[in-house]
Amino acid sequence: MIVGLTGGIGSGKSTILECFKSFGIPVYIADDEAKKLMNRSKVIKRKLISLFGENAYVDDQLNRPYLASKIFNDKTLLSKMNAIVHPKVASHFNHWLNNQDSEYVIKEVAIIFENNLQDQYDYIITVVADEDLRKQRVMKRDNVSREKVEAIMKNQWSDADKIEKSDFVIVNDDLQKAKKQALDIHNMLLKLLKH
């Protein structure tokens, strides 16, 4: 069983993933794997350089600030980049999945709904948190301005829209409560597997 985990920037997805790991559930973080593949895969490198030019890589490593500046307000370029990277991540995930032996796995993808990927999951958990708290978390974590965080949030679906399409919701304003919600969902998923 594949469970998707999503949530807006700063909602605390990583914290919740740690909870599921502590329950012995394998976790696949799509963004992290995509970054690794963009640095490792010769095919992806070649295609990204042809799409973005030589500046796409510096010292053989992905030039993330450069790419971010190119795709941030250019949906067409973003789609082209995703068309290069996403299929590779999908096949990497399938290979990873075949090597897991737990009752279910969690695949974390920040933009499941934005990319219309919800059909790839048996269940979806959305992590939400107070908007101001999210902004503070990201500003502190990434050392960026409030405006930058707000611009990113504008490109993501609202929590309300995500909640409507999700099977489970974790409110991550209070860590102890969020951990309890994660455990409750874990137990529900195990029950669902038995039926």
Q: Are residues 111 and 148 in the same domain?
A: yes
Q: Are residues 153 and 174 in the same domain?
A: yes
Q: Are residues 16 and 94 in the same domain?
A: no
Q: Are residues 189 and 107 in the same domain?
A: yes
Q: Are residues 48 and 117 in the same domain?
A: no
Cβ neighbors of 39 (< 8 A, separation 6 or more) are 45, 60, 61, 62
Is 13 annotated in some ligand binding site?
yes
Note the Cα 144 to chain centre separation in Å.
Answer: 19
Is 11 annotated in some ligand binding site?
yes
Cβ neighbors of 135 (< 8 A, separation 6 or more) are 10, 146, 149, 150, 153
pLDDT of residue 74: 87
Percent of the chain with pLDDT over 70: 100
Other CB atoms within 10 A of residue 127 CB: 28
Is 126 annotated in some ligand binding site?
no
Residue where one domain finishes, among candidates 99, 124, 144: 99
Q: Are residues 8 and 85 in the same domain?
A: no
Q: Are residues 90 and 108 in the same domain?
A: no
Q: How many domains does the chain have?
A: 2
Distance CA 188, CA 161 (A): 23
Distance CA 155, CA 139 (A): 17
Distance CA 50, CA 174 (A): 46
Q: Are residues 88 and 156 in the same domain?
A: no
Which SS3 state, helix, strand or coil, does residue 114 take? coil
Residues 85-100 pLDDT 10s? 999 999 999 999 999 9
Nearest one of 83, 61, 60, 80 to 70, comparing CA atoms: 80
Is 10 annotated in some ligand binding site?
yes
Residue 73 sits in which domain range? 34-99
Tell me the CATH number at 174: 3.40.50.300
Q: pTM for the complete prediction? A: 0.90
Is 12 annotated in some ligand binding site?
yes
- Separation of first and last alpha carbons in the chain: 13
Residues 141-186 pLDDT 10s? 999 999 989 988 888 899 999 999 999 999 999 999 999 999 999 9
Band (114; pLDDT cuts 50, 70, 90)? confident
pLDDT of residue 155: 80
